[in-house]
Amino acid sequence: MTTASTSSRHRRRRREDGTTVRNWSELPDGPLHTILTCLCSFVDFISFSSVCRSWRAVTSSLSPSEITSRFPPLLLIASYTREGRVSGCRVLDPASPSFSCSLDRICSASAKFPFLTSHGRFLRSVGPARQRQHVILNPFTGEEIQSPIMPKGYTSFNRFHYTHLSSIDSALLLFTNDTVFHWRIGSSSWSCHSPRIHPSGREIVAIVNGTVYAVDSGERLFVLDLSPELHLRQLAVGGIGVGSFSFQSFLVDCGGELLFLRLVPTERIIGMQLEAFRLDLSANQARWVKMETLGNWAIFVGYWPPLPGLAVENPERWGGRSNCVYFATNENVDWPWMVIKLGEEIDTSNPESPLFNGNPGQRVKTSWVYPGL
């Protein structure tokens, strides 16, 4: 028997009734794309891409924006000991409430990574003070990336952000009291900038259409220019009253618009609610314009650590709800998120509320992620 006939026998076999059974890897792209449109969760998408090379090639043809528009992100939950070591790590899927995947195998590597940043990456510092480096861990793959040695005079960072500028361009941003450090992943050195006006407190960073925005604890908006050189500048923005108080805030890239979500008190002592603003750059002065509705979008945020939110359009296709915020909680580990309609009051005395007792629960940290994107 020839090699060709042997290969053909493996690809196609005949049933007893004479019909031919084709190999699943031989399905044409047309039916595969049809199957893709029927998937409703990112977990299903990962399973689809794992079938074989030809199926994975079909998923690779989709852009990150096409993928994120179809499925909700996964929720990464990291549990920490009192000593700041990772004791457990699991992943949940809003589109498949019964799904739960443990990453405890990775936890042996991530145990010494005390910081959880955006895109589900863990971060830690290594080396003596004058030769300090930073290591980024991807808990889904176990891959570790080590940065170059920090510039002379660097002591320690206060805030950090792992960012995706594009599908092939990632960076690590570190903030100290007076300096911003930027390392483009894969490059051999850091760039730094000491801005004239320093952000106060913990910054929240989001990237919209290639522009890096940051909001500090005083709700001042900054723009971080990465080229031709690193430069942080404050952007004067109106629309939110001076002295207006918020417990927590979030930046979100929502379909190419920058949204600013604020967690504010209501008239009741135990009540809070989420309000949303979009950045309007059409006038002479930039303004935050209050939004009465999120339309057909759903926003995903978490109380701790304060990371940029994610937006998903038409969540009803996977069983979600539009005009709602999926708020990850650190308290109720059996049901670790709450769906809150924009403007709806949150009863902080409710044990199922993500803000029950107002405790950020720093021993449990959460991050909404799209693994591999």
Query: What's the pTM?
Result: 0.85
- How many other CB atoms sit within 10 Å of the CB of residue 304? 19
pLDDT in tens, 142-178: 888 999 999 887 767 767 777 765 555 788 998 888 8
Q: What are phi and psi of 278, to 5 degrees?
A: -115, 145
Distance CA 130, CA 286 (A): 42
What element of type H or E holds 181?
Answer: strand 180-184
- Mean predicted lDDT score pLDDT of the chain: 82
| Higher local confidence (pLDDT), 127 or 290 | 290
Q: Is the peptide bond before 228 cis (omega within 30 degrees of 0)?
A: yes
Cα–Cα nearest to 99, from 78, 124, 74, 116:
74
Report which DSSP code applies to 177.
Answer: S
pLDDT band at 352 (very low <50, low <70, confident <90, very high): low
Alpha-carbon dihedral angle through residues 77, 261, 193, 285, given to the nearest 10 degrees:
170
| Contacts by 151-157, CB closer than 8 A, 24 or more apart | 151/181, 151/190, 151/192, 154/179, 154/181, 155/129, 156/125, 156/132, 157/181
- Inform me whether the pLDDT recorded for 2 exceeds 50: no
For the chain, helix, strand, coil in percent to 5 are 15, 40, 45
What does the pLDDT read at residue 353? 67
Cβ density class 113-133: b for 16+ within 10 Å, e for less? bbbbbbbbbbbbbeeeeeebe
Which pLDDT does position 137 carry in this prediction? 86
Which has the higher per-residue pLDDT, 91 or 16? Answer: 91
* Sheet containing 180-184: order of strands: 159-166, 169-175, 180-184, 191-193
Question: pLDDT value at position 10?
Answer: 44
**pLDDT interval class at 7 (50, 70, 90):** very low
Return the ∠ at Cα 50 (arms to 298 and 141), rounded to 5°.
Answer: 75
Q: What pLDDT, in 10s, does the model give residues 8-57?
A: 444 444 545 555 556 777 788 888 888 888 888 888 888 888 888 888 88
CB 189 within 8 A of CB 182: no
Residue of 298, 264, 296, 262 lying closest to 278 (CA atoms) = 262
Asked if pLDDT for residue 3 goes beyond 70, the answer is no
**Residue 285 has what pLDDT?**
86
* Alpha helices in 12-103, H assignment, sequence order: 29-38, 42-49, 53-60, 64-68
The per-residue pLDDT for 12 is: 47
Phi, psi of 121 (to 5 degrees): -90, 145
Top-confidence residue, 176 or 373: 176
What does the pLDDT read at residue 354?
61
- Whether the pLDDT of residue 1 is over 50: the answer is no
What values do phi and psi take at 129, rounded to 5? -55, -40
- Which element (helix H / strand E) includes 9? helix 3-11
Q: 42 near 68, Cβ under 8 Å? A: no
pLDDT for 11: 45
Which residue would you say has higher pLDDT here, 353 or 172?
A: 172
Q: Are 134 and 117 in contact (CB under 8 A)?
A: no
Nearest to 220 by CA among 206, 247, 238: 238
